[in-house]
Structure 1
Amino acid sequence: MPLASKNRSSDDFPWWLVAAGVLAAAVALLIAVSGLYTQVFSVIVKGVGITVFVTLVSFALASALGLLLALMALSGSIALRQIARFYIEIVRGVPMLVLLFYVAFVGAPAFVAIWNMVTQPLQDAGLMQPLQVRDVSLMWRAIIALTIGYSAFIAEVFRAGIQSVDEGQVEAAEALGLTPFQRFRLVIMPQAIRTILPPLGNDFVAMVKDSSLVSVLGVADITQMGKIYASGSFRFFETYSIVAYVYLLLTVSLSIVLRRLEKRLRETTER
């Protein structure tokens, strides 16, 4: 069998999307006509807002921290490079669930203890109440854990994208008298984004799925709402089928949007 052409058009008709759409429509019809599935869906959909919020905030913070780490890893200072590499390698080696538990049940109490120690004079003067561990939101503990975990992976995405820019472009910008910030904003990032966007989009989709881990802390996301309903009704098949369906709607829709954005960006840069 001859090998597929490497120049195959990216505009091939998306039959997979048609099949996925038919499946999604069939499940939607089942939800509409079945009282049981309607009830399950109405419970689970209450967690969509939390899932979206956790994902968006975590990804925005992780991207900002990841970019900072990438710039540190590429800086001229050996100390900054070693600090960035230490952070990236250590964090990438810790499972996300373990990191989530560590931030929630070790990091949060440590933060509270340090905060109370620093603000002790204000507390003695009656200007501030001591902070309790329970005052630190479980949702924000989860967001911080996802931010820390994903920032290490995103840092490598940014580093690879920045290094993909031809050095001659940077040298030419430097010769024109552009400042380091201007070189980064006007020359490096516009070219690096073509390399960065696909893996960054993959990390975004992955974070939508990994946001389900926050359910272990009792955060009322999609997965947690499913767990609550299933434990009370013992309708595990119906419940987790709908949970999977909702996550697929989110991730497939997001993948399509990112693919369109990537295609448009490629067409713009080729002009």
Structure 2
Amino acid sequence: MVTEDEATPDSRDGQSKNTIIMVTEGPSIPDPREWRVINAWSIALAGAILTLCWLVWYKPDPYRDILLFVPDGLIVTFKVTVLSICCAVPLGLITGLGRISRNRVINLVASTYVEVIRGIPLLVQIFYFYYAVASLLQLSPTQAAVISISFCYGAYMGEVFRAGILAISKGQTEAARSLGFNRFQTMFYVILPQAWRTILPPIGNECIAMLKDTALVSVVAMPDLMQRARSYANKSYLYFETYTVIALIYLIITLLLSKVVSIMESRLNYYDGKK
């Protein structure tokens, strides 16, 4: 779910001030202005890495064996995540533009898509695309997984794009139109570049949440990280040990990715400040 607080126009650059887009899924993005060595992010990352290393050293059997068993699934997880991001982000942008469109038909289609997709759990969507749609269109498990995740997160990202675009002062649009820009040029050359600073953190948050939700594709026999863990646990009956390692791997990956998003946000703010 995406929400935004009330914003007041900034008299210096015409952008909305104190605008925050909140996303209720995924880890929190580290504040790019916080450069303290010891903070919640560093404690969580160090704790996860040290715990995993200690388990492998203290009890190689089974922890080292589990760690050596799952890399193939990790590759599949990243593959599904990257493909889903490449599809979901453009779909979210189109949906966000449709949600603010003055054309009633386009607005209605985009709004209906958001309401329908957000009202159906992702797991149900995965089952639907795999067992119903895939049989009609001859889709592979990977294609069905990517399509279902992309459609689900495209709706959520559409709300992020909509909120970010609406956060920009109308004065920016009026100024661009007075310079002779048409609607397309105004949106892609003036509004979106300014909105991206607000949009980036929640979009990054959604991408990280997407990686975690790829664990759901294991229910359709996708050999992802979760499916590999399930296979090992079913053979060894070491459920606690297996899922402890998997939880630590997911935690380390999501923390690292959240830091990447934080660095990107910091660089974006730095270059905006130099303009």
Alignment equivalent of 1:185, drawn from 184, 188, 191:
188
Aligned Cα root-mean-square deviation (Å)? 1.5
Q: Does residue 105 in structure 1 map to residue 108 in structure 2?
A: no
Distance 1:254 1:83 in 2: 33
Deviations 1:151-172 (A, max 9, x none): 1000000011111111111111
**Residue type of the alignment partner of 1:16:** A
- SS of residue matched to 1:100: helix
Q: Which has the larger radius of gyration?
A: 1
**Residue type of the alignment partner of 1:57:** L
Q: Residues 84 and 147 of structure 2 are in contact (CA less than 8 Å); yes or no, is this contact kept in structure 1?
A: yes
Q: After TM superposition, list the pairs within 5 Å mapping 1:14-93 onto structure 2.
A: 14-20=38-44, 21-32=46-57, 34-93=60-119
What is aligned with 1:230?
233
Alignment equivalent of 2:258, drawn from 255, 259, 263:
255
Deviation at 1:190, TM superposition (A): 1.2
**Residue type of the alignment partner of 1:63:** V
Identity of aligned residues (%): 36
What is aligned with 2:34?
10
Q: Does residue 212 in structure 1 map to residue 215 in structure 2?
A: yes
Deviation at 1:256, TM superposition (A): 0.8
Distance 1:222 1:104 in 2: 19
Distance 2:209 2:37 in 1: 25
Report which of the two has the higher share of helix: 1
TM-score after normalising by structure 2? 0.83
Deviations 1:57-102 (A, max 9, x none): 1012011111111111212210110111111001100000011111
TM-score after normalising by structure 1? 0.84
Q: Residues 48 and 251 of structure 2 are in contact (CA less than 8 Å); yes or no, is this contact kept in structure 1?
A: no
Deviation at 1:32, TM superposition (A): 4.4
Q: Which has the higher contact order (CA 8 A, sep 6+)?
A: 2
Distance 2:41 2:92 in 1: 32
Q: Does residue 243 in structure 1 map to residue 269 in structure 2?
A: no
Deviation at 1:219, TM superposition (A): 0.4
Count of matched residue positions in the alignment of Structure 1 and Structure 2: 240
Return closer, same or farther for 1:182/1:58 CA change in 2, 3 Å cut-off. same
